[in-house]
Amino acid sequence: MLMLFSMIMFISGILVFCLKRKHLLLMLLSLEFIILSLYFMMFFFLSFFMSEFYFSMIFMTMSVCEGALGLSLLVSLIRTHGNDYFQSFSVLW
Protein backbone atom coordinates (compact mmCIF):
# COMPACT_ATOMS: atom_id res chain seq x y z
CA MET A 1 0.00 0.00 0.00
CA LEU A 2 2.76 2.45 0.91
CA MET A 3 4.78 1.52 -2.17
CA LEU A 4 1.74 2.23 -4.34
CA PHE A 5 1.36 5.62 -2.67
CA SER A 6 4.99 6.48 -3.37
CA MET A 7 4.66 5.35 -7.00
CA ILE A 8 1.62 7.62 -7.40
CA MET A 9 3.69 10.45 -5.90
CA PHE A 10 6.50 9.75 -8.38
CA ILE A 11 4.20 9.63 -11.41
CA SER A 12 2.35 12.78 -10.40
CA GLY A 13 5.68 14.58 -9.93
CA ILE A 14 6.77 13.58 -13.43
CA LEU A 15 3.40 14.67 -14.81
CA VAL A 16 3.68 18.10 -13.19
CA PHE A 17 7.27 18.38 -14.44
CA CYS A 18 6.11 17.74 -18.00
CA LEU A 19 3.05 19.99 -17.86
CA LYS A 20 4.68 23.02 -16.19
CA ARG A 21 7.79 23.18 -18.34
CA LYS A 22 7.53 26.94 -18.95
CA HIS A 23 8.23 28.02 -15.34
CA LEU A 24 11.55 27.20 -13.74
CA LEU A 25 10.22 27.47 -10.18
CA LEU A 26 7.44 24.93 -10.78
CA MET A 27 9.90 22.60 -12.46
CA LEU A 28 12.24 22.81 -9.47
CA LEU A 29 9.38 22.16 -7.07
CA SER A 30 8.27 19.11 -9.02
CA LEU A 31 11.85 17.82 -9.07
CA GLU A 32 11.98 18.15 -5.28
CA PHE A 33 8.68 16.28 -5.07
CA ILE A 34 10.13 13.48 -7.22
CA ILE A 35 13.20 13.33 -4.97
CA LEU A 36 10.93 13.16 -1.92
CA SER A 37 8.97 10.27 -3.40
CA LEU A 38 12.21 8.45 -4.25
CA TYR A 39 13.40 8.95 -0.67
CA PHE A 40 10.06 7.62 0.56
CA MET A 41 10.41 4.50 -1.62
CA MET A 42 14.00 3.95 -0.57
CA PHE A 43 13.13 4.31 3.11
CA PHE A 44 10.41 1.65 2.89
CA PHE A 45 12.61 -0.60 0.76
CA LEU A 46 15.43 -0.44 3.32
CA SER A 47 13.07 -0.92 6.25
CA PHE A 48 11.50 -3.94 4.50
CA PHE A 49 14.87 -5.68 4.35
CA MET A 50 15.85 -4.41 7.83
CA SER A 51 18.93 -2.74 6.44
CA GLU A 52 20.98 0.24 7.53
CA PHE A 53 19.69 3.73 6.79
CA TYR A 54 23.14 5.21 6.16
CA PHE A 55 22.56 5.41 2.40
CA SER A 56 19.31 7.28 2.94
CA MET A 57 21.22 9.91 4.94
CA ILE A 58 23.66 10.37 2.07
CA PHE A 59 20.78 10.53 -0.43
CA MET A 60 19.02 13.19 1.64
CA THR A 61 22.22 15.22 1.90
CA MET A 62 22.75 15.13 -1.87
CA SER A 63 19.12 16.07 -2.54
CA VAL A 64 19.41 19.08 -0.20
CA CYS A 65 22.54 20.17 -2.07
CA GLU A 66 20.68 19.78 -5.37
CA GLY A 67 17.80 21.87 -4.05
CA ALA A 68 20.13 24.64 -2.86
CA LEU A 69 21.88 24.69 -6.23
CA GLY A 70 18.55 24.92 -8.08
CA LEU A 71 17.38 27.73 -5.83
CA SER A 72 20.58 29.69 -6.35
CA LEU A 73 20.21 29.30 -10.13
CA LEU A 74 16.61 30.47 -9.89
CA VAL A 75 17.59 33.56 -7.89
CA SER A 76 20.37 34.48 -10.31
CA LEU A 77 18.06 34.02 -13.33
CA ILE A 78 15.35 36.17 -11.78
CA ARG A 79 17.89 38.88 -10.96
CA THR A 80 19.21 38.98 -14.51
CA HIS A 81 16.00 38.44 -16.51
CA GLY A 82 13.21 39.52 -14.14
CA ASN A 83 11.08 36.35 -14.36
CA ASP A 84 11.33 32.57 -14.56
CA TYR A 85 9.79 31.98 -17.98
CA PHE A 86 11.88 29.88 -20.32
CA GLN A 87 10.50 31.79 -23.30
CA SER A 88 12.20 35.02 -22.24
CA PHE A 89 15.69 33.46 -22.16
CA SER A 90 17.76 33.88 -25.27
CA VAL A 91 19.98 30.94 -26.14
CA LEU A 92 22.36 33.07 -28.20
CA TRP A 93 22.81 35.73 -25.51
pLDDT in tens, 23-80: 888 888 999 999 999 999 998 888 888 888 888 889 999 999 999 998 998 888 888 8
What domains are there in the chain, each with its CATH number?
A: 2-81 (1.10.287.3510)
What is the per-residue pLDDT for 48?
Answer: 86
Helices (H) and strands (E) in the chain — how many of each? 3, 0
Which of these, 7, 53, 54, 14, lies nearest to 32 by C-alpha position? Answer: 14
What's residue 1's pLDDT? Answer: 81
Return the pLDDT at 77. 83
Q: Which of 70, 76, 58 is nearest to 33 (CA)?
A: 70
Per-residue pLDDT, 12: 95
d(Cα 92, Cα 33) in Å, to the nearest integer? 32
Write down the pLDDT at residue 90. Answer: 63
